[in-house]
């Protein structure tokens, strides 16, 4: 039993599972821009323009919800 886009792989192998995820995974609902980006003096922002989290040293955010 193999799924159409991944017939070239062995069913339930790591390669098969990776292929299934790449071809069949979808998102349902994902809000964006939930974390405010702003200047270092903007008290309402969570991260600065270089994605450094304010108030926590050596922590950066790499996430699509952080938008200018």
The question of whether 30 is a catalytic residue gets the answer yes
Q: What is the dihedral of CA 23, 25, 26, 30, to 10 degrees?
A: -140
Catalytic entry in 30, 57, 58, 62: 30
Neighbouring C-alpha atoms within 13 Å toward the C-beta of 54? 15
Annotated catalytic residues are: 30
């Amino acid at each position: 039993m193999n799924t159409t886009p991944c017939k070239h792989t062995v069913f339930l192998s790591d390669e098969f599972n990776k292929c299934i995820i790449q071809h069949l995974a979808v998102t349902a609902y994902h809000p964006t821009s939930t974390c405010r980006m702003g200047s270092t003096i903007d008290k309402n922002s969570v991260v600065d323009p270089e994605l450094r989290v304010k108030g926590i040293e050596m922590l950066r955010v790499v996430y699509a919800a952080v938008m200018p």
